[in-house]
Amino acid sequence: MRLVRISTLISIFLLSRQENLLNRECGLSTLGVHMHVLNPFHFGVVVSGNDFCNREEEIEELQQDIKNHQNNIIYSPRRYGKTSLIYEVFRRLSGEKQIQTIYVNIYSILSETDFVELYHRALFKSLTKTPRTVMEQIGRYLKSIRPKITVNPDGTYDVGIEYMPEITAAVEDIMAVPLRYAEETGKSVVIAFDEFQQIARIQNFVLEKKIRNIIQEQSDKIAYIFLGSKRHVMEEMFSNPNRPFYRAGKQMPLKKIDRKQMILFIIEKFLETGKRISNNLAEDIIGLADNHPYYIQHLSHIIWDLAENEVHADMVQQALDYTLNRESVVFTEFWDRLSLNQRKVLVALNLKNKDEGIFSQAVSHRFKLPPVSSLQKSLKTLYGQELIEKVNGDYQITDVFFRLWIKRNYTINPPYYLT
């Protein structure tokens, strides 16, 4: 087993002492104590602090870029930890009095009006603490938008818009707020737009053009971080010379976390909660999950629940079987909506050798793939739907569990078109 941090060993020592004391004085069993320990693995939620794994290089680079007002573009497949990375960066910057952080997720926007309303709410929730300070600052930072404040019975409050001018004026007004705030307070401001690819959905790139024009004038005061989960859309937005956001910042595609660091993370999380897992089994989890943070956390969460004190090899397989069985209904329904050629392509991508290209004659013959033109069309469709991604010049299925589900179902019982 690899070395773990001293703090972890101290935690285990203290946990052991506490359990022994309880056993002697209260007659409690070790299992009884463990039942009150929370599962340390989290998936499908934003994590930070001790629950965030590594990415120290990215964190340090982003902190430095923020201080230098450098814009960044971060993209990766969904569930790769982009949002958690920004939350962790902002958490570490929270002690910097001269830096104001603002996070806004624009995934739900369908129009320019939606963008203004959502950004307006995020801004004043970040810049102010009470309804009174909201009212005071709104008068200074907004010129044409008339807001409304609703105070809830529990003391919390919501920020909305009572009157919005013509949309171009509204966008200009709301986008100018961070700059007005920075000039008044002397602080640097960093704004993270999550799911930024949604901007491209607004008709004819109108909103994209408006935002880009305003951002260009704020480069000496404001740093922007654009996050996106649809890689091909983000690449098109920021790498196409004909698009408004062409080269609008430094591109930072998120890579996989170092395997050694991930192994250490898994082992420590088990140890911190009074359970043990071997180096080899931690490696097995990472292998099954293709070193993808979400799927590692997902499998580890189930395995932790299965293990009373120590993880055994059969528990890893149990966790995988449980997960694939639970997802089977969704995967089957989705599979049924695919065309025959698209299914063939997914099976081929999943079962071919790593050194074989999808367009090779051997792969085409073995998996009975369609002619090149139809194959290209299927790949384009699957890529556009984010079902597959390009890694090191080759395609692979994006969802790791879907990948494993296909392998389980079509390796043992190949479909009729592969026989």
Copy the structure tokens of residue 285: 């989890």
Q: Hey, what's the torsion of the CAs at 417, 378, 195, 262, to 10 degrees? A: 50
In 3D space, the residue among 177, 165, 168, 166 whose CA is nearest the CA of residue 139 turns out to be: 177
The C-alpha atoms of residue 139 and residue 252 are separated, in whole angstroms, by 37
Residue-by-residue pLDDT tens, the chain, 419 positions = 344 444 444 444 434 443 443 344 334 344 444 456 899 999 988 888 888 888 999 999 999 999 999 999 998 877 888 999 999 999 999 989 999 999 999 999 999 999 999 999 898 888 877 667 777 777 788 888 888 888 888 878 788 888 888 999 999 999 999 999 999 899 999 999 999 999 988 877 888 998 999 998 887 889 999 999 888 888 899 999 999 999 999 999 888 889 999 999 999 999 999 999 999 999 999 999 999 999 999 999 999 999 999 999 999 999 999 999 999 999 999 999 999 999 999 999 999 998 999 999 999 999 999 999 999 999 999 998 889 988 878 899 999 999 999 999 987 566 655 55
**SS3 call for 73:** strand
Q: Identify the CATH class of 55-253.
A: alpha beta
**SS3 call for 324:** helix
Q: Which residues contact 317 (CB under 8 A, 6 or more apart)?
A: none
Amino acid at 273: T
In 3D space, the residue among 249, 181, 262 whose CA is nearest the CA of residue 215 turns out to be: 249
The C-alpha atoms of residue 187 and residue 257 are separated, in whole angstroms, by 33
CATH of 338-418, picked from 1.10.10.60, 3.30.10.20, 3.40.228.10, 1.10.10.10, is 1.10.10.10
Model pTM? Answer: 0.81
